Amino acid sequence: MKAVVLAAGEGQRLRPLTFTRPKHMIPIGGKPILEHLINALKESGIEEILLVVNYKAEMIKNYFGNGEKFKVKINYLVQRETLGTADAIATAEKYVNDEYFLAVNGDLLLSVNAIKSVLEVHERNKPTITLAAVQAEKPEHYGLLEIEGERVIDILEKPSSGTAFNNWVNAGIYMFQARSSIL
């Protein structure tokens, strides 16, 4: 299985830390956030990763190279304009061919269990798309999910304070069937 890791964003809310590096390269426990994520993906059984990059892309490419040092295969795709998650995933369509693939925000610290849970739910239910959700204390800081049963009806990106109708937010982990109707 392949993973598409979205690592193009600048991280404006993390300034001044991101003046000199992309948010994905901020160290946590002596390693960049992105390295922790790549290790979790590898431990989950994913051996091929496409990093969608833009802001300070050379810093990411120089650190991770072809992935050999991390025992995975890494390719890169430069997203010329950062137009959001859907655009980044659509840009990666040729890389994933006709397979199912995992897509994940590159600035997340995820456990292997979290990744495997999404993979298992997707395999069990076989939908076109699986989106992981979590409950947040301040949902207005995230993509708020409008949910009917187990289906996401809409995503309201960072709603104004006091307008959140629940506390379920997009966790930034997705499973897609390539060439699905959303792409």
What CATH number is given to the structural domain containing 19? 3.90.550.10
Average pLDDT of the chain is 86
Q: Is residue 14 part of a domain?
A: yes
- Residue 125 in any domain: the answer is yes
Is residue 53 included in any domain, yes or no?
yes
Tens digit of each residue's pLDDT (9 = 90 or more) over 2-61: 899 999 887 777 777 668 888 899 899 999 999 999 999 999 999 999 999 988 899 999
The answer to whether residue 138 is domain-embedded is no
When pLDDT is cut at 50, 70 and 90, the band that residue 181 belongs to is very low
Q: Which domain holds residue 121?
A: 2-131+171-177
Tell me the three state secondary structure of residue 137: coil
Provide the 10 A C-beta neighbour count for residue 179. Answer: 13
In the predicted structure, residue 109 carries a pLDDT above the cut 50: yes
Residue 69 confidence (pLDDT) above 60: yes
* DSSP letters for 45-85: T--EEEEEE-TTHHHHHHHHTTSGGGTSEEEEEE-SS---H
Residue 17 lies in a domain: yes
Number of domains in the chain: 1
pLDDT at residue 81, as a whole number: 79
Which pLDDT value is given to residue 17?
A: 67
pTM of the full structure: 0.86
Distance (Å, whole) CA 53 – CA 178: 20
Whether residue 166 is contained in a domain is answered as no
Residue 179 has a pLDDT of 56
Residue 33 forms part of a structural domain: yes
Higher pLDDT, 37 or 157: 37
Whether residue 99 lies inside any domain: the answer is: yes
Among residues 5, 87, 84, the alpha carbon closest in space to that of 40 is found at 5
Interstrand relation of 100-105 and 129-135 (parallel, antiparallel or unpaired): unpaired
